[in-house]
Structure 1
Amino acid sequence: MAPVISTRLDTSSSDYAEARESMLTQLAEIDAEHAKALAGGGERYVERHRARGGLLARERIELLLDTGSPFLELSPLAAWGSDFHVGASVVTGVGVVSGVECVVVANDPTVRGGSSNPWTLRKSARAAEIAEANRMPLISLVESGGADLPTQKEIFVPGGRTFRDLTRLSAAGVPTIALVFGNSTAGGAYIPGMSDHVVMVRDRSKVFLGGPPLVRAATGEDSDDESLGGARMHAEVSGLADHLAEDEHDALRIGRRIVARLNHRRPAASRRPAGSAPEPLHPAEELLGVMPPDLRVPVDPREVIARIVDGSAFDEFKPSYGRGLVTGWADLHGYPVGILANDHGVLFSAEAHKAAQFIQLANRADTPLVFLHNTTGYMVGREYEQGGIIKHGAMMINAVSNSTVPHFSVLIGASYGAGHYGMCGRAYDPRFLFAWPSARSAVMGPRQLAEVLSIVARQSAARRGEPFDEDQDVALREMVERQIEAESLPLFLSGRVYDDGVIDPRDTRTVLGLCLSFAHNAPVTGTDRFGVFRM
């Protein structure tokens, strides 16, 4: 039996109460923004869509999925802080269809007709990445007017990636399915054109490169929607439609039957027998009070681990060495995992050595890795530079970069600088990356960044022999701190699709369990091939 983590969290303390209240406040802010995405284009456009007999994007998803099965929505806050609607006019996520875990991408026709803006493309591309890495079928629920034309300069070039992704998925043996409910025009016509299976709805679906007005302007030819690109024409004449559905419900029924006939099989998973995954000994509710409002206050990550792993059991690796990084083995919903979690914020050479060895061991054992971020980065200073902190940090980053087992990152606190990289940040392609509302991520902390700029400005003035304006320096530092604090918030980062969503800490175990299941649709295989370690 693995040792069980004993908790030292005092849930009756004032510090815990303050942390809990702060987390609940942040969660309320996140929920308010998420509600904007759920509302679509607003009551007026929702009612107009219903009057046409259309289902909403999330209603289509619900009817597509197996009854009672979970749906993990991804990037719901995409486009937050931009000129576009929160959610970026598309819903993406992973759910179970006919017993198969599938990635779903559904246009929201109530938001600017479901047209694609730069954030739509980024969000959809991320969904395609997840489908490819985890070898899950990709289902597109299409109803889109194509590109948001005023932003064409930003979407024309990256927009082509959508079509490339579909063909690459198909080439890799990952099934792609398009259910077309309404317009799929211009570039959007290539979504069904490049999908393996296509379903269109009689008298509703319209798929053409150019609609009647454009055709008339370009060629002088007069045509109507049906003869140019209607569902019946594509089913009977062009052959673009593989199935002709009578209505939306019928299209979703056909889509489910297509998935059922894919013969899609998961490789043998290393999950423990069903029913053998005990719940943590400590309640998830207590995770609300783990992270203090001031992230400079050290937090023992074992308190988080104890509330997300099976039976709170954890075999810690090198507990007395590199104490700033907690590493060890556990099971999560029956899946074996290795965990790396920051302890006191700063990573020293010992922590980097420990991480690199642990990552190698996980690869040797074909064991997925979970990274719990709370680090300000690698240690700086003359002593540490002379001690080789650069090459030791590079060793950890080397190991993370070349590791081939699935990685899952959760930003629970600070995630700054190269520490973000070493802990498998977004640039290092974790299978999934989520953030708690308490997370902060940037090049460095706001106060440190403002201080660096102040020192540089002070030195520059001294070199020029000019007086230094102290009042202006104070104002500049305050402005920089406010800017960096705003740009390091989860809402800001999630709006740019730098994570896959901001989650309630209480849902961490469930979210990671789902992601582990998704990852096991592909072989989980480690490697012994790493770059040259600068010892």
Structure 2
Amino acid sequence: MTVLASALDPAGADYTAHREAMLAKLGELEAEHAKALAGGGEKYVERHRKRGKLLVRERIELLLDPDTPFLELSPLAAWGSDYPVGASVVTGIGVISGVECLISANDPTVRGGASNPWTLKKSLRAHEIARANRLPVVSLVESGGADLPSQKEIFIPGGAMFRDLTRLSAEGIPTIAVVFGNSTAGGAYIPGMSDHVIMVKERSKVFLGGPPLVKMATGEESDDESLGGAEMHARTSGLADYFATDEPDALRQARRVVARLNWRKAHSDPGPAEPPKYDAEELLGIVPSDLKVPFDPREVIARIVDGSDFDEFKPLYGRSLATGWAALHGYPVGVLANAQGVLFSEESQKAAQFIQLANQRDIPLLFLHNTTGYMVGRDYEQGGIIKHGAMMINAVSNSRVPHLSVLIGASYGAGHYGMCGRAYDPRFLFAWPSAKSAVMGPQQLAGVMSIVARQSAAAKGQPYDEEADAALRAMVEQQIESESLPLFLSGRLYDDGVIDPRDTRTVLGLCLSALHTAPVEGARGGFGVFRM
């Protein structure tokens, strides 16, 4: 039997403490998500409603098939910056007329939907996901264009938005724009470069320059409707392919456009899948609040894979890394999960072989992070930890099957790279509220800086200020701790969202379904030189 046995004690003191700590972190996360849901605040939400307009998430809800999920991406974008949480745009994956699509929707209650640097980063990440997974893109547009005070940060890189739309179209991935209000200046190119365009009567306004700019540039007098209104674009310019009477009608027409795309997934959906044998609620009590305390990742695997069935690969070798085969919502996956934090030479070689096998079999890989990095020390350096760690990173870098990453505990140093961190292009990367990621742990980093400063003082023959050293270490520890937390990292789009552990199976299932829209093909060779 390959069904995992659980040693978790839900009645134990440790479990209770871990669960309470996780629930506290989830409370903090919910408070930050609420800021994104609030948009521009009560005043601007009310003003938007008085204009007879739907809110951004109401538009998305009407666009999606009834009772289907919406996987929102990067909801905490811009957290900790000078810009509102959420970055004035909502992105995510949902089902429209039976087709999984990438949806990008401006929130006009936040500075008129204007784009700031984090809006751009979030939108480009959404396009990246659409392109990698071959998901049709539906843009719900209502934006005044660039947030002008930040133009120096957005104008030059912002051209990538329009580049992406044309590249998606060139690759046969449909792009649809539904314009609800302003789409001015550079924003006019979103409908201009989309395959299908829907505009709303007396609401849509699409022009390169509005009446004031036209007056200043040419002296010409004009009004919004004749310059860029929906009816003009439907009757005269031809930019609008469909003319809607109101917002619900526009969303109805968008659903019809998607229904007529004749869009097919590369892979058929799998049949019914057996749920895990253990309660997802128990995921709250597995990860200790102190990440130095080890935990068994098989307890996590048992609560997310089909039937808790896990065929472990090399279970007696390289035991700090659990590798094996499973299914998740019917989709086959290869799982790599850190067991005791540190990666040794054996774990690195085991991982490289396992990744090659997954590529031979065209099986996506799931990385569950809890690592402090590769082992250091004289014996390990002499034993080849550099070349063995490089072997694992080489395999991850050149693997061509889709990768999914979930940071559940620590993800430090080069271990973050070997476990397919953001820089290694996982199709999707999520974090639990318990996760931390940095070049190394706060205490280790502060200690290294202290040792270097102490050695420098000794080399110069100067006395060492112990009091200043203690203050420096405390400051560095505090800084690194705050910069390694999931809210901070998610705000910078280093993940695609911080999720409730109980939702892990659902989130991964949605991702696996989406990525199977595109072909799943592994590398056949082409891994570069493995140093032996």
Matches within 5 A, 1:265-276: 265-269=264-268, 272=270, 274-275=271-272
RMSD between superposed Cα atoms in Å = 0.7
Matches within 5 A, 1:81-100: 81-100=80-99
Whichever residue aligns with residue 8 of structure 2, its letter is: L
Does residue 531 in structure 1 map to residue 506 in structure 2? Answer: no
Matches within 5 A, 1:52-451: 52-269=51-268, 272=270, 274-275=271-272, 277-451=273-447
Q: State the alpha-carbon separation in 1 of the partners of residues 400 and 165 from structure 2.
A: 23
Q: State the alpha-carbon separation in 2 of the partners of residues 214 and 460 from structure 1.
A: 61
- Contact conserved, 2:101 with 2:136, CA < 8 A, in 1? yes
Q: What is the aligned partner in structure 2 of residue 475 from structure 1?
A: 471
SS of equivalent to 2:264:
coil
Whichever residue aligns with residue 527 of structure 2, its letter is: F
Q: State the alpha-carbon separation in 2 of the partners of residues 175 and 379 from structure 1.
A: 47
Q: State the alpha-carbon separation in 1 of the partners of residues 459 and 332 from structure 2.
A: 58
Once the two structures are TM-superposed, the CA of residue 313 in structure 1 deviates from its matched residue by 0.5
SS of equivalent to 1:339:
strand
Residue by residue over 1:159-207, the C-alpha shift from the partner in whole angstroms, topping out at 9 and shown as x without a partner, is 1110011011011111000000000001111100110100000100000
Q: State the alpha-carbon separation in 2 of the partners of residues 474 and 294 from structure 1.
A: 22
Residue by residue over 1:22-47, the C-alpha shift from the partner in whole angstroms, topping out at 9 and shown as x without a partner, is 00000000000000100111111001
Once the two structures are TM-superposed, the CA of residue 268 in structure 1 deviates from its matched residue by 2.8
- Contact conserved, 2:267 with 2:518, CA < 8 A, in 1? no
Residue by residue over 1:294-346, the C-alpha shift from the partner in whole angstroms, topping out at 9 and shown as x without a partner, is 00001110000000001101000000000000000001011110000000000
Q: State the alpha-carbon separation in 2 of the partners of residues 253 and 11 from structure 1.
A: 48
Contiguous gaps of at least 5 residues in structure 2: none
Residue by residue over 1:417-473, the C-alpha shift from the partner in whole angstroms, topping out at 9 and shown as x without a partner, is 110000000000101000000000011111110011101100111111111100000
Whichever residue aligns with residue 528 of structure 2, its letter is: G
SS of equivalent to 1:340:
strand
- Contact conserved, 2:87 with 2:119, CA < 8 A, in 1? yes
Whichever residue aligns with residue 107 of structure 1, its letter is: N
Contiguous gaps of at least 5 residues in structure 1: none
Q: State the alpha-carbon separation in 2 of the partners of residues 434 and 67 from structure 1.
A: 26
Q: State the alpha-carbon separation in 2 of the partners of residues 230 and 337 from structure 1.
A: 50
Q: State the alpha-carbon separation in 2 of the partners of residues 134 and 353 from structure 1.
A: 29
Residue by residue over 1:203-246, the C-alpha shift from the partner in whole angstroms, topping out at 9 and shown as x without a partner, is 00000111100111111111100111111111111111111111
SS of equivalent to 1:482:
helix
SS of equivalent to 2:276:
coil
1:454 aligned to which of 442, 450, 453: 450
SS of equivalent to 1:265:
coil
Whichever residue aligns with residue 30 of structure 1, its letter is: L
Q: State the alpha-carbon separation in 2 of the partners of residues 412 and 467 from structure 1.
A: 43
- TM, length-normalised to structure 1: 0.99
Q: State the alpha-carbon separation in 2 of the partners of residues 249 and 136 from structure 1.
A: 23
Whichever residue aligns with residue 393 of structure 1, its letter is: G
Q: State the alpha-carbon separation in 2 of the partners of residues 393 and 165 from structure 1.
A: 35
Identical pairs, percent: 77
Q: State the alpha-carbon separation in 1 of the partners of residues 463 and 171 from structure 2.
A: 64
Q: State the alpha-carbon separation in 2 of the partners of residues 158 and 130 from structure 1.
A: 18
Q: State the alpha-carbon separation in 2 of the partners of residues 268 and 377 from structure 1.
A: 36
Q: What is the aligned partner in structure 1 of residue 487 from structure 2?
A: 491
SS of equivalent to 1:155:
helix
Whichever residue aligns with residue 435 of structure 1, its letter is: A
SS of equivalent to 1:7:
coil
Residue by residue over 1:332-387, the C-alpha shift from the partner in whole angstroms, topping out at 9 and shown as x without a partner, is 01111000000000000000000000000000000000000000000111111111
Once the two structures are TM-superposed, the CA of residue 88 in structure 1 deviates from its matched residue by 0.4
SS of equivalent to 2:160:
helix
Whichever residue aligns with residue 162 of structure 2, its letter is: F
- The ranges of structure 1 where at least 4 consecutive aligned residues each deviate by more than 2 angstroms after the TM superposition are none
Q: State the alpha-carbon separation in 1 of the partners of residues 152 and 75 from structure 2.
A: 25
SS of equivalent to 1:217:
helix
SS of equivalent to 1:293:
coil
Q: State the alpha-carbon separation in 2 of the partners of residues 459 and 223 from structure 1.
A: 72
- Contact conserved, 2:176 with 2:194, CA < 8 A, in 1? yes
- Contact conserved, 2:369 with 2:407, CA < 8 A, in 1? yes
Bigger mean CA offset, 487-496 vs 523-532: 523-532
SS of equivalent to 2:326:
strand
SS of equivalent to 2:92:
strand
Q: State the alpha-carbon separation in 2 of the partners of residues 151 and 526 from structure 1.
A: 42
Q: State the alpha-carbon separation in 1 of the partners of residues 109 and 328 from structure 2.
A: 39
Q: State the alpha-carbon separation in 2 of the partners of residues 229 and 261 from structure 1.
A: 28
Whichever residue aligns with residue 468 of structure 1, its letter is: Y
SS of equivalent to 1:95:
strand
- Contact conserved, 2:137 with 2:175, CA < 8 A, in 1? yes
